[in-house]
Structure 1
Amino acid sequence: MEYDYVIRNGRVIDPAAGVDEAADVYICGNRIAEPPAGPAGEAKTVIDASGCLVLPGLIDFHTHLGYQLSDFGLNPDLYTLPNGITAAVDAGSGGTANFEGMYQNVFSKAMITIRCFLNVAATGIITERYTENLEPERFDEKKMELLFDRYQDVLLGFKVRVGRNTSGDLRLRPLERAVELAERFHCRVCLHATNLEDGYDEIFRMMRKGDIVCHIFQGDNGHTILNSRGDVSDVVYAAREKGILLDCACGRVNYSNRVMRASFAEGFWPDIVSTDIIGFSIYGPKIHSLLSVMSQYYGMGMPLPDLIRAVTTIPAEVMGLRGEAGTLRPGAKADVFVAEIQKNRLDITDKFGETVSLDETIVPMLTFKEGRLAYRNILFDPYC
């Protein structure tokens, strides 16, 4: 059998397959292929990944991709592929009034794989000049029914935001209604929770197994995941036991390095690592991309296999792509990321002025999307 590509000599980390070892990865067409049973099979192109990590294509689970249809929107492929990302989730950019326009004009045309949360507010999140209307009486349930029927393979559930500067005096009422709707439509809830008026005990009480809470390291006031002693609260561990997924979504402003340090000190890692990246924050001073978030977490002590799991295996399962994405198992889509951990100084300062200093960064070298070479770092010359 002749393969299209073989990637040799890299450290392959694929948590979904339980692999962390030096190995070769074979690509035939748009799929990961079975390795040859005997001597190494022939390949049209051999890539030498010596000194590199060979990973499943990364998944950024919290983005805003409504390019030119929202102040927040960024160009999906332009951001993702050069940074090793081959799949992403749009976290509620569109609501019932504009989701279909975003899907038809942007999401469906992207090279990467995109899944979405539908915002409970009709307009979704389209500008920072004002917030979406979260009065439950204004939710368009009839249009929701149409969209969940028409885009059942794309929509993962509902996105809702709560906090002083989003839901305001409504407090947790939008969340309560979102959960009721999710029960009706048999889907998940993805919750943005920052600047809280209510504690996580109330939030976790409402939410269900499989729901997602974002920005878990936010530190806007006293309502954080830490208790009065500065440890991760028992209610947070109980929420994880309940099956609620905890997403950092911390690449932009909704995180505290202080809260993160305290959490990491006791080995508390997020289930999902993502960015909340938007059109006017990409490549800015607080975030470069998913790779800067990953570099920070790795530098602060998150074990590499756990980190890779949080940007591949777990988000792929939530997206309904288990076995198709987030893995290098034979038969999966050939989404592959080759990266190098390099000695580079990087300081990441949160909005509270607290800085984390890193000595290493994860640098992109090569990205395959479904067997097609989609990006190569100009300094990376791997061809044998």
Structure 2
Amino acid sequence: MVYDIIIENGILVDPLKKTHQKGTIYIKNDKILSPPNEKEKVEYKQKINADGYYVMPGLVENHTHIYNGGGDTNLNADVIMLPSGVTSAIDQGSSGWSNFNLFYKSVVMNSMMNIKCYLNVSNSGLITEDYYENIDPKYFNKEMIKFYTEKYKDTILGLKIRLCRDSIKDMGLSPLEKTLELAEELNLPISVHIKDLDEIKDVANMLRKDDIWVHMYQLSEPTILDSNGNVIEEVLKAKERGVLFDVASGRGSFSFEMISKAFKQGLKPDFLGTDLVTYNVYERPIFSLPYTMSIYLNLGMSIDELTQICIKNPAERMHLSGEIDTLKENTTADICIMEIKEKDITFHDKHGGSLDGDKLIVPRMTIIDGKVVYRSIEF
């Protein structure tokens, strides 16, 4: 057998099988193959010595905006994410039904990555950062939302809405109520941006199993903490009944003080979305998904926990579990190789908080469909 790529001696982390062990990966065409038997002659086109490095399925970005050309915040997914070891991504509502066809044709169909999305309930989605999209329920086009979510059911994962004082204005929670009504009828989850919302307890009570709470550690009051620094009861109950929580860090949507208090009370994220856009990519405090993972590694989460929330959990949302969240044989060879570098580093938030750490996750190689699409010059 002539293999295209052999990755030997790496620390193989498989979040689906929950294994963490030294081993070798064999790749032919676009698939991971079983190891050769002892009598088989092994040949290869490229051999990679990954001794001391972590080899895992490609990272899955749960929260980003990648309708490139469709709005001032949207990234080019392949250019930005492949060098960071990200091989799959979920766009969080950049498109509404009225411009979804162009998003699908120009981004989803043309990307090397696996791309799926949430459809914004606002007709045109997120066009600009200069003003909020219109979420007045009287403009929701139920017929067209139903049409697109059914036609593109393999791509559209659910509905997205942004809730904050400036977006709901004097409408109260009627936009959320209507979104939930639509979601119930379409049998879809919703993803909800929640910031500085006076009705935060009511929202917590309204969200259902598999709905996503976005920006869980944001610091604009009201927050998930009460005046005594305790996680509010409604949030804990939401977590218990299966509401999913996404960090979606953004430029200022997290604080180390908030994270510390929530961690001590057991409220940890289900997803480590970055909310990367044109205004924060390669800029601190977020920079990239591996940099964000480094923050939580230094907060005490293990690499195995991080692969659960950065690979396995979002892969399940994408309905690709067993395909993109594992290194098992006969799956597509979407792989990233990372180094956990011992390095003194200080992380900062946008609220004056900081975290001193000694580890940094550094991307060294990205393989997609069995082809090397990024390799660090030092690796």
Whether these two folds match at TM > 0.5 is yes
Q: Which residue identity is paired with 2:150?
A: D
User: Counterpart in 2 of 1:17?
Assistant: 17
Encode CA deviations 1:106-136: one digit per residue, 9 max, x unaligned: 2220110100100000121111111100101
Any residues of structure 2 matched to 1:234-313 within 5 Å, and which? Answer: 234-313=233-312
Question: Does the CA-based 8 Å contact 2:137-2:178 persist in structure 1?
Answer: yes
Question: Does the CA-based 8 Å contact 2:5-2:47 persist in structure 1?
Answer: yes
Per-residue deviation at 1:325?
0.8
Taking structure 1 as reference, are residues 97 and 373 closer, same or farther at Cα in structure 2, changes over 3 Å only? same
How far apart are the structure 2 equivalents of 1:306 and 1:236? 22
State yes or no: 1:115 paired with 2:95: no
Any residues of structure 2 matched to 1:1-384 within 5 Å, and which? Answer: 1-38=1-38, 42-44=42-44, 45-199=46-200, 201-221=201-221, 223-380=222-379
Q: Which residue identity is paired with 1:166?
A: S
How far apart are the structure 1 equivalents of 2:266 and 2:49? 35
Per-residue deviation at 1:43?
4.2
Q: Which deviates more from structure 2 when the two are superposed, residues 94-103 or residues 78-87?
A: 94-103
Question: Does the CA-based 8 Å contact 2:252-2:351 persist in structure 1?
Answer: no
Per-residue deviation at 1:217?
0.6
Per-residue deviation at 1:68?
1.5
Per-residue deviation at 1:39?
6.1
Question: Does the CA-based 8 Å contact 1:251-1:290 persist in structure 2?
Answer: no
Question: Does the CA-based 8 Å contact 1:96-1:118 persist in structure 2?
Answer: yes
Encode CA deviations 1:212-253: one digit per residue, 9 max, x unaligned: 1111111101x2222443233443332222111111111422
How far apart are the structure 1 equivalents of 2:246 and 2:342? 27
Encode CA deviations 1:152-193: one digit per residue, 9 max, x unaligned: 110001000111132232232211111111111111101111
Per-residue deviation at 1:266?
4.0
How far apart are the structure 1 equivalents of 2:22 and 2:89? 28
How far apart are the structure 1 equivalents of 2:144 and 2:313? 30
Taking structure 1 as reference, are residues 43 and 173 closer, same or farther at Cα in structure 2, changes over 3 Å only? farther
Per-residue deviation at 1:370?
1.3
Question: Does the CA-based 8 Å contact 1:339-1:365 persist in structure 2?
Answer: yes
Per-residue deviation at 1:280?
2.0
Q: Which residue identity is paired with 2:122?
A: A
How far apart are the structure 2 equivalents of 1:231 and 1:29? 52
SS in 2 for 1:66: coil
Encode CA deviations 1:234-276: one digit per residue, 9 max, x unaligned: 4333222211111111142211221111122344320111100
How far apart are the structure 2 equivalents of 1:164 and 1:318? 28
Taking structure 1 as reference, are residues 208 and 365 closer, same or farther at Cα in structure 2, changes over 3 Å only? same
Taking structure 1 as reference, are residues 171 and 330 closer, same or farther at Cα in structure 2, changes over 3 Å only? farther
How far apart are the structure 1 equivalents of 2:256 and 2:104? 35
Encode CA deviations 1:278-311: one digit per residue, 9 max, x unaligned: 0121112322111111010111111221111101
Taking structure 1 as reference, are residues 47 and 205 closer, same or farther at Cα in structure 2, changes over 3 Å only? same
Question: Does the CA-based 8 Å contact 1:264-1:301 persist in structure 2?
Answer: no
Unmatched segments (≥5 aa) in structure 2: none
Taking structure 1 as reference, are residues 48 and 41 closer, same or farther at Cα in structure 2, changes over 3 Å only? farther
Encode CA deviations 1:359-381: one digit per residue, 9 max, x unaligned: 2210010000111111000010x
Q: Which residue identity is paired with 1:299?
A: N
How far apart are the structure 1 equivalents of 2:230 and 2:302? 20
Per-residue deviation at 1:41?
6.4
SS in 2 for 1:98: helix
Q: Which residue identity is paired with 1:81?
A: L
How far apart are the structure 2 equivalents of 1:39 and 1:235? 61
How far apart are the structure 1 equivalents of 2:7 and 2:349? 38
Question: Does the CA-based 8 Å contact 2:192-2:214 persist in structure 1?
Answer: yes
Taking structure 1 as reference, are residues 305 and 97 closer, same or farther at Cα in structure 2, changes over 3 Å only? same
- Over 4 Å off, 4+ runs: none
Question: Does the CA-based 8 Å contact 1:192-1:215 persist in structure 2?
Answer: yes
How far apart are the structure 2 equivalents of 1:356 and 1:59? 25
> Percent identity between the aligned chains?
37
SS in 2 for 1:17: coil
How far apart are the structure 1 equivalents of 2:37 and 2:237? 46
Q: Which residue identity is paired with 1:185?
A: L
Q: Which residue identity is paired with 1:54?
A: V
SS in 2 for 1:178: helix
SS in 1 for 2:182: helix
